[in-house]
Amino acid sequence: MKAEKKWKVKGTYVEDILYEFGLQHKHEDASHSFILNVRDELLAAKFSADEWKAILTDNSPKIPRLPDSINKELELIKAESMQSIRQFAAKKLPDVVNDDSLRTMYTCLLMMVDIKLSGFFDEENLEDDIKSNLWWPLLDYVFLQTPELLCRRGESSCVASAKRKRLQDLAGKRKSIGRKADLRVISRVDRLELGYGEGSRTDDVDSAKNVYDSCMKTAKCLKDMLLCLLVDVKYDPDVASQIVIVGFQFSKYKMKLLFMNNAGGYTCRIKETKYMTFLASDDSFLESFVAIYKLLYVAKMTMLETLRLVKQSKSKQELLDDLFEEEEYEEIPSGMKTPVQDTTTTSSSMSKRHRSQ
């Protein structure tokens, strides 16, 4: 790595700290891929308070919020009972049929009310039941109302990760971290990968599977996707740090988002939301729906903004290529050589470092 290309905060090269941190681990760790998760308490301890503050804030992309129009509508919903919520939403639908955002929100609300009243949350559901009856219908409807995006599930890994593994196979075999992707979100036209998700049946967010999926499998797939987009825009300095890949982590009826961007140099930074939960009680249902829907909306708008930035940069690059000779740029490496994976040690160690919020 070239020193002038590294991410320097308060006089410290972040990549140097990540490299030394990675050498301390005999098991596979995200630091081997120069992925920095801001929830990693052990890694945070390697930096001073000022350095860590800069790591948290430097080159942070703008994450969209729920529009005021939707917030105002949510405040109007009568929540005395499940039937009152259903009646209110059904009555409002004809009035908002031409408003994509509000129509999508009310349709999703009616969908969740039906699932709740069916007794679904009272059953001991399997992982596939939860995905196919709760999460996938929600995601499908939210993204189907967006012509630019498309959900894909059950496919072998993600295209970006498959590309990286093929290149690594030329140099020597390594153990892959996952055979199938629970969820991929791609653009309809160019098939650009914008989001990745994993799920589990357990509601223990600190379980070995959830922590490993979030900290390793999802994180590495997000980086693979991010690097592909950065290559597409030729590491355009005007947009490189603003391109964000979205991760979805589902833990039974809980959900959180991960946001990855190239914060600086060779480092890919991950920030996470808190887990939000679908609550089965009538008193808490509407509040929990609002929290989940906000996450889905933020995820959708973040991916649309990334898609816009990529298209804008590629158009600019095509114009510049016609006028000037193509400039060379240095790609971010996928990571340094990692030890043979020990899932027991890996999961146990990560659980201690990444406690849920």
> Among the listed ranges 80-94, 147-161, 212-226, which one has the minimum average pLDDT value?
147-161
Mean pLDDT of the 314-325 span: 68
pTM score of the predicted model: 0.87
Q: How confident is the model at residue 174 (pLDDT cuts 50, 70, 90)?
A: very low
Mean pLDDT of the 18-44 span: 92
Q: What is the pLDDT of residues 111-151, one digit of tens each?
A: 999 999 999 999 999 999 999 999 999 999 998 888 899 99
Phi-psi region of 272 (alpha: psi -120 to 50; beta: other; left: phi over 0): beta
Mean pLDDT of the 179-187 span: 87
**pLDDT given at position 349:** 55
Q: What is the pLDDT of residues 245-299, one digit of tens each?
A: 999 999 999 999 999 999 999 999 999 999 999 988 888 999 999 999 999 999 9
State the chain's mean pLDDT as an integer: 86
Q: How confident is the model at residue 173 (pLDDT cuts 50, 70, 90)?
A: very low
Please identify which residue in the block is written with the tokens 């906000």: 294
Confidence check: pLDDT of 78 > 80: no
What six digits make up the tokens of 19?
Answer: 């490299």
Domain ranges of the chain: 3-66+148-278+330-353
Q: CA–CA distance from 211 to each of 39, 130, 145, 173, 245 (Å)? A: 12, 19, 32, 25, 19
Q: How confident is the model at residue 162 (pLDDT cuts 50, 70, 90)?
A: low
Mean pLDDT of the 297-324 span: 85
> Among the listed ranges 284-293, 328-337, 338-347, which one has the minimum average pLDDT value?
338-347
Identify the residue with better confidence: 6 or 327: 6
Identify the residue with better confidence: 338 or 317: 317
**pLDDT given at position 200:** 85
Q: How confident is the model at residue 181 (pLDDT cuts 50, 70, 90)?
A: confident
> Among the listed ranges 48-62, 66-80, 157-171, 184-198, which one has the minimum average pLDDT value?
157-171
Q: How confident is the model at residue 74 (pLDDT cuts 50, 70, 90)?
A: confident
Confidence check: pLDDT of 79 > 70: yes
Q: How confident is the model at residue 204 (pLDDT cuts 50, 70, 90)?
A: confident
